[in-house]
A and B are shown apart, each in its own frame.
Chain A
Amino acid sequence: MSEQQIPTQLAEIRDDFLELQLRDRLQLLLEFANELPELPERYRDHPDLFERVEECQSPVFIFIEVEDDTVQMYATAPPEAPTTRGFASILAQGLSGLSTAEVLELTDDYPQSLGLAQAVSPLRLRGMTGMLARAKRQIRLKSAV
């Protein structure tokens, strides 16, 4: 997939990571972890809506909302799993506001483009790849209706 097909907000997140030294990339990931928003009131009592991301070692749940062809991603993960929270937060910020087509066309390798493989290990990064795949699957299900 060519460079210009990555939506601006995702490209900006990627560039923010790539500008940093390895150690600082972890700090930025931690900032994302801390920024993961609380679930909106209307979803707090609806664990049934959320899908568990099995590819992650820590319990993380995601939920995609599609309205007027615009994607909103919500996620919840415990504070003792900051890496997973960071991954979820990057995707929640990076995907929310995009059109369904923009998310579906996003390369599945986006997580690998952030320069995090060395900092967190490729095995851990698989959790984020799984999260993106599940987000896309939910969008396909919801926009097919």
Chain B
Amino acid sequence: MTIERDPAPQFAEFSHPERLVSADWLEERLGQPGLVVVESDEDVLLYETGHIRGAVKIDWHTDLNDPVTRDYIDGENFAKLMSRSGISRDTTVVIYGDKTNWWAAYALWVFTLFGHEDVRLLDGGRAKWEADGREYTLEAPTPTPTEYPIVERQDSVIRAFRDDVLAHLGDPLVDVRSPEEYSGERTTAPAYPEEGALRAGHIPSAQSVPWSKAVADDGTFRPLSELNEIYREGAGLKDGDQIVAYCRIGERSSHTWFVLNYLMGFENVRNYDGSWTEWGSLVAVPIVTGAEPGEVPSR
């Protein structure tokens, strides 16, 4: 890792404390060579209203998604994106964003698909930075382009496709959507637009743990004892489990993937980014409605 980790005591109990930084840590290091701060938001204009000094913007729609195929960009385009963002292969990248880091966690997950080693989240994201009264700037940085290598995306470790999920049935699944989406009352989060799924409900046997349970009121991650209560006692996850998390398009479940993988130390966690907008439209796959997880159909 290029830059030392944040030794803040609240991170020490997590399995990968090096994946989180506090606002104090970041503020002290802004402008340090080898560090690039990335903002990734749901709202594509929020960065333009003010951002952390020196931060570059990476948008999930226009930068990380392939414009034609429903997939992420390839290694060549990722290298171009990194180059114009001033990021080298050994750069320490700190990502933050709106909505308690939904899209920041999603961006971090995509960086991880390309094996970028040192990528961290700013605990609490934009909301906490603002609540602390910390500074924003309107000035957009002009990064010096880097030579970022073309690295092929590695989809087999942290990403699950629909066939992987079908084969996975019987092992733990975590549905991180709202209770209304889980039970089948609606196909999108309350107050969100309807977005193309033909059936409502959840994947059989999936435990319902809305993503937001992992964060405290100020937007920072909950301490390990509380996370254990939610995911181990509440959802029954055990060490050694193979786990797949999903939501609607994979952004909220990236957040949960981060929690399970880097904070709680589960080693086999995959994010199913096809999520409900794919599963809810697939022909002949099993679906359960109602508040109970339901049974995996016999094959």
Interface residue ranges, A against B (CB under 8 Å)? 26-27, 29-30, 33, 54-59, 79-84, 86, 118-121, 123-124, 126-127, 130
Contacts and interface: CB of A to CB of B under 8 A. Distances in A.
Contacts of A124: 44, 61
Nearest to A86: B45
A33 B59 CA distance: 19
A63 B75 CA distance: 46
B98 interface: yes
B62 A82 contact: no
Contacts of A119: 44, 62
**Most-contacted residue by chain A among B44, B49, B191, B192 (CB, 10 A):** B44
28 contacts: A26-B48, A27-B48, A29-B45, A30-B45, A30-B49, A33-B49, A54-B191, A55-B193, A57-B192, A57-B193, A59-B191, A80-B46, A81-B43, A82-B43, A82-B45, A82-B48, A82-B49, A83-B45, A83-B46, A86-B45, A119-B44, A119-B62, A120-B44, A120-B45, A121-B59, A123-B61, A124-B61, A130-B193
B42 interface: yes
Contacts of A121: 44, 59, 61-62
A80 B42 CA distance: 10
Nearest to A120: B44
A81 to B, nearest CB: 6
B98 A54 contact: no
A88 to B, nearest CB: 13
A57 B190 CA distance: 10
Interface residues of B, number: 16
A26 B43 contact: no
Given A123-B61, A124-B61, A80 B45 contact: no
Nearest to A79: B49
A79 B49 CA distance: 9
B62 A118 contact: yes
A81 B98 CA distance: 10
B193 A80 contact: no
B96 to A, nearest CB: 14
A77 to B, nearest CB: 10
Nearest to B130: A80
B42 A57 contact: yes
Given A57-B193, A130-B193, 13 more contacts: A56-B193, A58-B43, A79-B49, A82-B45, A82-B48, A83-B43, A83-B46, A119-B62, A120-B62, A121-B62, A123-B195, A124-B61, A126-B193
Contacts of A130: 193
A56 B44 CA distance: 13
A126 to B, nearest CB: 7
A84 B43 contact: yes
Contacts of B98: 80
B28 to A, nearest CB: 26
Contacts of B195: 123
A72 to B, nearest CB: 25
B249 to A, nearest CB: 10
**Most-contacted residue by chain A among B43, B46, B191 (CB, 10 A):** B43
Contacts of A79: 49
Nearest to A123: B61
A120 B59 CA distance: 9
Interface in B4-60: 42-46, 48-49, 59
B198 to A, nearest CB: 18
A26 B192 CA distance: 23
Nearest to B140: A23
A130 B48 CA distance: 24
Nearest to B138: A30
